[in-house]
Amino acid sequence: MSETLKLTVDRRDELAVIYTEGYINNQGGEEIAREAFKLIDDGEKTLLLNLSGTKIVNSIGISILIEIIEKMLDIEGKLAFCSLTPTIEKTFHIMGLTQYAAIFPDEESAVGELA
Amino acid sequence: MENSLVLREVTLTLPMLPDMEIAASKTATAMAEFMHMSSDRIDEVRMAVVEACINSFEHSQATDRKVYITFSVLGDRQPETLQIVLRDTGIGFDPGDVAKPTIEEKIKAESKRGWGLQIIQGLMDEVEISSNDDGTKIVMTKHR
């Protein structure tokens, strides 16, 4: 497992997908937020975070993801997650994130719903 | 669990440094794999251990800047339970004073943190916390 998070962004017509690879800790969360806020500033209103390359997160990293959710609520946009491990999905449920951000089993179903 | 034997035990002393929680999570994984826990349950243990370490790193104010973790596989002949005891020598806290966070509150709050205990309790089967002026001990249990 890498302790450094790598990000890839795929901008499409109706949404942008951010792919993560590695541990989402405080630095990882900040990197995601930086990328997400840049996309929002560029006019994106729908973001999908594909976490298929992330096997572990911590609560500090997730707290930073909540900042992105807050921003999306402000601009009336949408943030969704896909391809989570069962434990990350369970953690998001424990924290109640699913009230504000949809979770999809895979990217195909997420894009089908969001785009 | 009262009559259980300790079938395997590993003790770690970790400095409170960035990413040291990963070392603890790797040991937890090795112990859980030894007892043939399912991969999903291993992931849950791993994340709970990460959260317990981070809580201690961030809040304990332990002057020795260390956490002491004992991983024990317990069972009667066969491995049945993984017990993880994490201790620090910090200032302690009253678990009853820790408000349960809610997403509705946190989404508007300046600080969105404070989820550690809730995550640990949600992922482990049993969690006991004891804390006083000499430090904090958290006992986390996961059955196979």
Burial of A36: CB neighbours in 10 Å, binned 0-12, 13-18, 19+: buried
Interchain contact A57–B (C-beta under 8 A):
yes
Q: Do A70 and B108 touch (CB under 8 A)?
A: yes
- In the predicted model, residues of chain B with pLDDT beneath 70 are 1-2
Counts for chain B of helices (H) and strands (E), in that order: 4, 5
Confidence of residue A3 (pLDDT cuts 50, 70, 90): low
The pLDDT score that the predictor gives to residue B1 is 61
Query: pLDDT at position B4, please?
Result: 87
List the single residue in A59, A86, A96 with the smallest CB-CB distance to B116. Answer: A59
> Is B110 an 8 Å CB contact of chain A?
no
Chain B residues near residue A86 by CB distance under 8 angstroms: 40, 43
* Gap from A76 CA to chain B (nearest CA, Å): 14
Which of B29, B37, B59, B107 has the most A C-beta neighbours within 10 Å, making it the best mutation to test the interface with A? Answer: B107
Determine contact, residues B136/B90, Cβ cutoff 8 Å. yes
Q: What's the whole-number mean pLDDT along residues A38-59?
A: 97
pLDDT of residue A16: 98
Q: Which residues of chain A neighbour B116 with C-beta distances below 8 Å?
A: 59
Identify the pLDDT of residue A1. Answer: 46
* Band (A51; pLDDT cuts 50, 70, 90): very high
Tell me if A59 and B54 make a contact (CB, 8 A cut-off). Answer: yes
3-class secondary-structure state, position A105: coil
**Per-residue model confidence (pLDDT) at position A4:** 80
The minimal CB distance from A63 to the residues B43, B108, B115 is found for B115
State whether residue A55 sits within 8 Å of chain B by CB.
yes
Give domain limits for chain B.
Answer: 5-143
- pLDDT class for A2, splitting at 50, 70, 90? very low
User: Is some CB atom of chain B closer than 8 A to the CB atom of A33?
Assistant: no
Domain B5-143 has CATH 3.30.565.10: yes
- Kindly state the average pLDDT of the residues A15-35: 97
ipTM: 0.93
Cβ within 8 Å of residue A111, ≥6 positions away: A12, A15, A17, A48
B116 touches chain A (CB under 8 A): yes
Tokens encoding A26: 């405080």
Q: What mean pLDDT is reported for chain A?
A: 95
